[in-house]
Amino acid sequence: MRLISPIAALALLASQARAAPSVSDLQHVNDQYNASIRYERGASWAPNAQVGDCKVYAVTKRAALLALGWSSDTLAVWRVADERGEDHAVLVATLGDTPYVLDNREVSIWSKAQLERHGYRFEYAYEPWLLATLANGPKR
């Protein structure tokens, strides 16, 4: 599988006739970034990092979907408690009336309801302005 940056994905998109956002977009982005980012606990919130924790996976996938033309209104990074009660971050992408979850721990795209049945508790969504602030780091 060839990995491309969100910018390259946007250029590819512009060169092709494009249908509306789809679940296949979600699966492609989930696969691409689950494979290309090396997990390391406690990393920054910066998107497009080569190394990071669940937050980096979520914000990078969000950036990739935005580059593919998804509306920011349909993409939210959520803080969840996983099935063990541990803090975790995931990307929730809403398509139609269904919220889908892109998780660095999962190969498949799950609906939010499916993960809730498996013990995930969705606690809150991070505001986009906060994500931008966290990605840029503290002001000096």
Written out in words, the top-level CATH class of the domain with range 6-136 is alpha beta
Concatenate the DSSP letters of all residues of 46-102 into one string. Answer: -TT-SEE-HHHHHHHHHHHHHHTT--GGGEEEEEEE-TTS-EEEEEEEEETTEEEEE
- What per-residue confidence (pLDDT) applies to 95? 93
Please choose, from the candidates 115, 29, 11, 131, the residue with its C-alpha nearest in 3D space to the C-alpha of residue 72: 131
User: Is pLDDT larger for residue 135 or for residue 15?
Assistant: 135
Q: What is the CA radius of gyration of the chain?
A: 14
pLDDT tens track for 84-96: 999 999 999 999 9
Percent of the chain with pLDDT over 70: 79
Give mean pLDDT, residues 3-26.
Answer: 70
Reported confidence tier of residue 16, pLDDT bands at 50, 70, 90: low
